[in-house]
A and B are shown apart, each in its own frame.
Chain A
Amino acid sequence: MLEAQGKTRGVVKLTAIVVGMFAFGFMLVPLYDIVCEVTGFNGKTAGAYELSGKETVDESRLVTVQFLTNRNANMPWSFRPAIRSVKVIPGELNEANFFVRNETESTMVGKAIPSVTPFKAADFLHKTECFCFESQKLEKGEELNMPLRFIVDREIPKDVDRLTLSYTLYDITSSTQLAVR
């Protein structure tokens, strides 16, 4: 009897571990996002930045911000930055424009995903306004100038003189239709 009880208790405990670890597998997803956001790991940038009004500028240096655009897989839109790079004063609000056009004969939804390198700079690039916060729905042949407003934090490490902000444009038409249904 005692042995049987011990077995049952063992099985219950071990099953609990199994269920817990399965859940843990899924918990790794938000955990990873948090780690990425805190450390800038994999070049992910945070969401919209609220201006606190207390930002100060550091006029003693200039940081080059470079823009890259990339269309994933078969995304048939035009997508390019208005300028390739800009030198900015840390702490100052800047604006850059990106041009996009739906080259197809049908309405499509696209979404741009940002990525920053070097990673350690990712945390110091604050976007107050970005087209990447939402998706873009364009009719056939429709074009759009999309603004990006950003501040490079004056706390950005001294050895980072240049950071690259890359946007990859994805076709998310099918998933948005799913959402509507």
Chain B
Amino acid sequence: MRYWLIDCYTPHLKIVKLGLKTKASMLFNNVIVLSLNGVSQMNNLKQLRHYLLLPMLLFCQTASADFSFWNLRKGVTEISREVYDLHMLIFYICCVIGVIVFGAMIVSMILHRKSLGVKPATFHESTKLEVAWTIIPIVILIGMAVPATSTLRDMYEPGEPDLDVEVRGYQWKWQYTYLNDDPAKEIQFISALRTPQDEIQNRAGKGEHYLLDVDNPLVVPINKRIRFLITSNDVIHSFWVPDFAVKKDAIPGFVHESWAIVEEPGVYRGQCAELCGKDHGFMPIVVHAMEQEDYDNWVLEKQEEAAKVFEIVGKSWSTDELIEKGEEVYARNCVACHQTNGQGIPPAFPSLVGQGIPVGPIAEHIDILLYGRAGTAMQAFGQQLNAAEIAAVVTYTRNAWGNNMQDSVQPKEINVMMASQ
């Protein structure tokens, strides 16, 4: 329990550092950095101090707009800034109306009380007033609708994309495909949560990007129009990157599009925004925006990696190598349902220990991994993992938790089966 309390200061400290950019709050921030350092070696009593500090922290971080604890992010696209301005405009208008209405109520509550001996007035209608407070709101609403319409038009503005990325939602991860007319040059990978189960289950301290970290981020070049073609493989998900002001539902059977031109290099984090089942809270989106040159290098690297996988798949693996690799693959892809101890959460997610597929014929085991099982949550991992990973995880689960089947399968064999796909 105590671990996270220590760890969770990291983002706070970071914010404070961002805040330092603004001179006005510099002194203030230094004080807080010092106090926080004190707190981080805290005992339970000192936690309290932190919460007393909280309002101050919030106060000074409003000075730096990069990141916020309590407001929208301005983001890094022209659209996201327009949305931010629109949001603030509507918010201020609401504040003004609020001050007037609540002000009138408060004045009335102070002045017009029976205890002051006030005699009630007798008026109970006034056509003029009633017309006025019908017309004035309409005018205000038109004032809001005009900028809102123009921002929305900008969002729908068509344009020739520089990069097409197909975003496909799975329960509970994302798949990105960089479309290319040359199939050999297409990059495709799965992006899943990297936060270990130990952190989620409070067995280890929580890292800086707790729940917002993935194994393979989506990498995009800056200042290029990127078109996201969004779809889903199973249920409805929603692709949301707050810094781009992009949120679009991923709907099975349909493809929807959205776009962004990222202006600053950086790492931008979002999450799935539509309830999609058990691990809806555990499928973050991480976008790494970089200079064109860096992006080109990354693409080359990815393509080389693909070639290397080919090599890896081709070589002969020892059983130990397969089990070691398999444990890693299992931890990343299988634990969410089948659990670290293989016991699963029956009946939806069956146990793998001493029963069922892992202790049955190996061909069926490979089959269910490659093609999944219809009508259940078991996915077709042939679409998500490479041959080496499939071979490794099959071998691992057949020999873990006392299953002890003593058999294994080589990536090469899997590859033959997959090649027919």
Binding site for B on A (CB under 8 A): 42-43, 66, 68, 70-76, 78, 83-85, 101, 103-104, 113, 115-118, 141, 159-162, 164, 166, 168, 170-171
Q: Which residues of B contact A43 (CB under 8 A)?
A: 254-256
Given A76-B371, A162-B160, A117 and B257 contact (CB-CB distance below 8 Å) = yes
Q: Which residues of B contact A168 (CB under 8 A)?
A: 231, 252-254
Q: Which residues of B contact A118 (CB under 8 A)?
A: 158, 257
Is B233 on the interface with A (CB-CB < 8 A)? yes
**Least distance between B412 CB and chain A CB atoms (Å):** 18
Quick one: which of B168, B180, B253, B254 contacts A84, CB cutoff 8 A?
B180
- A75 near B380 with CB under 8 A, answer yes
Given A72-B252, A73-B233, A164 and B257 contact (CB-CB distance below 8 Å) = yes
Extra 4 A-B pairs, beta carbons < 8 Å, given A74-B374, A76-B370, A85-B179: A73-B233, A103-B371, A117-B256, A166-B255
Q: Which residues of A contact B186 (CB under 8 A)?
A: 84
- B164 near A66 with CB under 8 A, answer yes
A-B contact list, 10 entries, CB within 8 Å: A70-B168, A74-B372, A74-B373, A84-B180, A84-B181, A84-B186, A115-B255, A162-B160, A166-B254, A168-B231
- A76 near B253 with CB under 8 A, answer no
Q: Which residues of B contact A78 (CB under 8 A)?
A: 420-421
Quick one: which of B180, B233, B234, B255 contacts A164, CB cutoff 8 A?
B255
- B253 near A72 with CB under 8 A, answer yes
- B373 near A117 with CB under 8 A, answer no
- B234 near A73 with CB under 8 A, answer yes
Q: Which residues of B contact A75 (CB under 8 A)?
A: 380
Closest to A161 in B: B160
- A117 near B421 with CB under 8 A, answer no
Binding site for A on B (CB under 8 A): 158, 160-161, 164, 166, 168, 179-181, 183, 186, 229, 231, 233-234, 252-257, 370-374, 376, 378-380, 382-383, 420-421
Given A42-B254, A43-B256, A166 and B373 contact (CB-CB distance below 8 Å) = no
- B383 near A71 with CB under 8 A, answer yes
- Taken together as a complex, chains A and B put the C-alpha atoms of A118 and B254 apart, in Å, by 11
- Taken together as a complex, chains A and B put the C-alpha atoms of A71 and B374 apart, in Å, by 12
Given A73-B234, A76-B371, A68 and B253 contact (CB-CB distance below 8 Å) = no
Where chain B touches its partner, the secondary structure class is loop
Q: Which residues of A contact B379 (CB under 8 A)?
A: 73-74
**Least distance between B224 CB and chain A CB atoms (Å):** 15
- A103 near B420 with CB under 8 A, answer yes
- B229 near A68 with CB under 8 A, answer yes
Q: Which residues of A contact B255 (CB under 8 A)?
A: 43, 68, 70, 115-117, 164, 166
Q: Which residues of B contact A159 (CB under 8 A)?
A: 158
- B374 near A117 with CB under 8 A, answer no
Q: Which residues of B contact A166 (CB under 8 A)?
A: 229, 231, 254-255
Q: Which residues of B contact A162 (CB under 8 A)?
A: 160-161
- B233 near A171 with CB under 8 A, answer no
- Taken together as a complex, chains A and B put the C-alpha atoms of A68 and B188 apart, in Å, by 13
**Least distance between B249 CB and chain A CB atoms (Å):** 11
Closest to B235 in A: A73
- A74 near B380 with CB under 8 A, answer yes
- Taken together as a complex, chains A and B put the C-alpha atoms of A75 and B372 apart, in Å, by 8
- A104 near B252 with CB under 8 A, answer no
Q: Which residues of B contact A73 (CB under 8 A)?
A: 233-234, 252, 372, 374, 379-380
Quick one: which of B164, B234, B253, B378 contacts A115, CB cutoff 8 A?
B253
Q: Which residues of A contact B229 (CB under 8 A)?
A: 68, 117, 164, 166
- Taken together as a complex, chains A and B put the C-alpha atoms of A115 and B383 apart, in Å, by 21
Quick one: which of A84, A103, A113 contacts B421, CB cutoff 8 A?
A103
Q: Which residues of B contact A164 (CB under 8 A)?
A: 229, 255, 257
**Least distance between A159 CB and chain B CB atoms (Å):** 4
Q: Which residues of A contact B164 (CB under 8 A)?
A: 66
Sorted nearest first, the 9 A-B pairs with minimum C-beta distance are A74-B372, A76-B371, A166-B255, A115-B254, A78-B421, A159-B158, A117-B257, A168-B253, A74-B374
Q: Which residues of A contact B383 (CB under 8 A)?
A: 71
- Taken together as a complex, chains A and B put the C-alpha atoms of A75 and B380 apart, in Å, by 8
- Which of A68, A116, A160 has the largest number of chain B CB atoms within 10 A? A68
- Taken together as a complex, chains A and B put the C-alpha atoms of A118 and B420 apart, in Å, by 33
**Least distance between A162 CB and chain B CB atoms (Å):** 7
Given A78-B420, A162-B160, A168-B252, A70 and B179 contact (CB-CB distance below 8 Å) = no
- Taken together as a complex, chains A and B put the C-alpha atoms of A33 and B253 apart, in Å, by 15
**Least distance between A179 CB and chain B CB atoms (Å):** 18
Given A66-B164, A73-B233, A164-B255, A104 and B181 contact (CB-CB distance below 8 Å) = no
Closest to B380 in A: A74
Q: Which residues of A contact B370 (CB under 8 A)?
A: 76, 103
Q: Which residues of B contact A160 (CB under 8 A)?
A: 158
Given A76-B370, A117-B255, A68 and B380 contact (CB-CB distance below 8 Å) = no
Q: Which residues of A contact B372 (CB under 8 A)?
A: 73-74, 76
- A76 near B380 with CB under 8 A, answer yes
- Which of B168, B183, B374, B378 has the largest number of chain A CB atoms within 10 A? B374
